[in-house]
Each structure stands twice: as C-alpha cells, then as structure tokens.
Amino acid sequence: MSARLLLVGPLADPAMMAALGLEPAGAAITLPGRLSGGARAGIARDGWPGWDREAQGQVVAQPVEASDGLRRYAEIMDLQPVQAPQGRVMGAVPGARPEDGAFQRDLAARVAADLLARDPDQPAETIRARLPMIAWWAASRLRAAAERGEALPPGPRDQDRLRIESRREPYGQYFSVESLRLTHRLHQGGWSEPLERAVFVSGDAVVVLPWDPARDRVLLVDQFRAGPAARGDGQPWIYEPVAGRIDAGETPESTALREAVEEAGLTLSRLIPAPAFYPTPGIAAEFIYGFIGIADLPDGVATVTGLPSEGEDIRGQLVSRDELMRMVLDGRIVSGPLMILALWLNRMADELKRGLAPG
C-alpha cells in the first residue's frame, strides 16, 4: 500500500478516521462518478459502497497517509485500493451497487476500533471469518452504553465506579470468552483489589412469546438444545419462546418480527415490550429483550420450521395460557426466558386485553 491514499465514502467519515487513528493529509478533493450502497460498510466484508466512475456526479475524497492501522484494517476487511488518475482510492469497490440504507457510523467505528485492538499476530483471515460475531458484540456494547449508562441503584452512585484495566480474548469462535482485569468501588467505600473475570460473550438477543388474546393461547417452540445435552440432561429438547440473536444493524423489534417468521412461520401484528434481563450475569454478557407478540393462532398454525442452514429443527406447540402456567408451576418449563414471559403475561393479560380491545 503506497504512503498516500484517497479515502472515500464511509471510510472517510470522521468517526471512522478517528477509530483508525488517521488524520487528513491535505484538503479534500473531488473525483468523478457516484457512490451507491454502503449501509453495512465497516460491518460486513461485502458492505462497502460501489463507485461508478462513469456516472454523473462527484465523489469527495480525503487524502491520508497510510498507517499500520489502516493496512491492518484493510487486510482484515479484504478492502483493496482502486487505482485512479488522482491516486489510489480506498473505501469503495468498482461499479454500482443497490441503495441499501444509511451508513451506520457509530457501529462501524466501534467495529474498526475493536479490530485494531486485537492480537496483531492473529491471521487477518481468521478475524475476517468472525466479522459477524464481532459486529454483534460491538452493537451490543453500543446499546448497553445508550440504554444503561447512568450510575443508578443498585451499586455505588459514583460515576467513576468501574475501571477495566485490560480486556483479552483467550477464546474466539462463533461465540467468545473475554478475560477482564478490573477494579470497582466497594459498597463500604474504597476500591476492590484487581479482579480477573472471564465472561462468555454472545451478543444481545430477543425472546418473543406469540399470544392470541381472543383464543387466550400461546405458541411455544420445541427444539434440541446443546446446553442441556452437555449437562447430561436426559431431556435436551425443551419448550422455549421464539428467540434469536440481534444482527448488527438490527433493532430488538425487527429481530423479534424476523425470528417469528423464521422459527414459527408467524407474522406478528404487534409487539408488546416485556421485561429485559441478563439471564446469567455472573458469567455471561448476554442481554435479552423480551416481547409478547400478538398473533392469530388458529388450530393447525403450529408447524415444523427453522432454517436448515443454521441447523434448526423447530416444532411449534399451541397451549392455552392456563396450561402454560400449569407447565411453569409443575416444572415442565425449564427455559428461564419462557418462565419470565409466561409469568409476566399471566400477570398482565387482562390489562393487555383491555388495551387491545377496539375503541
């Protein structure tokens, strides 16, 4: 990579340049043509915009001096410079691409910073293969900062109450484990001794319980689960709500609607937020958004569904709300998220029905 490059599109965004440690090396110039697409630039390997050099228009390009950080980032992203009369252009691929929405600058910048913080000896292709998972985790951390960033009870009220000294990833595949070295304020005052904590990282998820208020019944999903199997549970098929990971760039609500179609073949008419929670906060960073999904659930709606590409084999099961509560109380429901949604729905059902009634 030559010393001077012209950055275009999302790669020239100030937030991206800051994440990559880049400074302008002169005034911006214009190039002929037009950029298209690029909503997932910096999030997915193939998310960069297209540059149609023959199209009417101008493309703003920011000169920079190539750095080791930019070289490493481009290698991981498999992003190659495009030769032009004005110089080597980076941040777009040749040709036009379909328009696909707005560039997600905060998420892309968080992913860029995460990539540069990783072990420089780790092969770029290994990191590249994990980009979807890295982006899930980056999006989860952004949501946590936006939704739960205030120093509220419980815990010490000081804004300065947690200091993470180091963060390593001793294991990283589809999911990962992060090893944190940290100190935190104590309830009686002062600071803890440095602590080493390992955390299972999987990104945020949603659970949604489809409910038909008119028939007062719900749809459960029945599927094999590796966790109970690893524990030696003789019944590794369990009843659960519809569930799924929140892809980078999705919202909890859009994920809930998508997963209802994929896992249960249902189009939900409305989502009602239910409690959100950490299922096992002592060892896992997973945060789950809960919903009740309003659905029409006639006889015969429960089928076998799931995405074969993800190894899913899911059977739907219709049960009345009363039967669901009996299943919770007699131990037939062992999924914590389903218990939470079932208990919350049972407590709120009458109020929800009044709110859903016409007029």
Helix axes 105-116, 131-147, angle to 10 degrees: 120
Distance CA 43, CA 49 (A): 12
| 8 Å CB contact between 243 and 263 | yes
Distance CA 204, CA 337 (A): 13
Distance CA 255, CA 240 (A): 17
Host H or E run for residue 72? helix 68-77
Distance CA 1, CA 355 (A): 61
Q: Using DSSP, how many helices (H) and how many strands (E) does the chain show?
A: 9, 19
Distance CA 356, CA 3 (A): 63
Phi, psi of 62 (to 5 degrees): -105, 115
In this structure, what token pair is assigned to residue 90? 């980076």
Token pair 């859009």 is found at 254
Distance CA 113, CA 49 (A): 20
Distance CA 109, CA 11 (A): 9
Catalytic residue ranges: 310
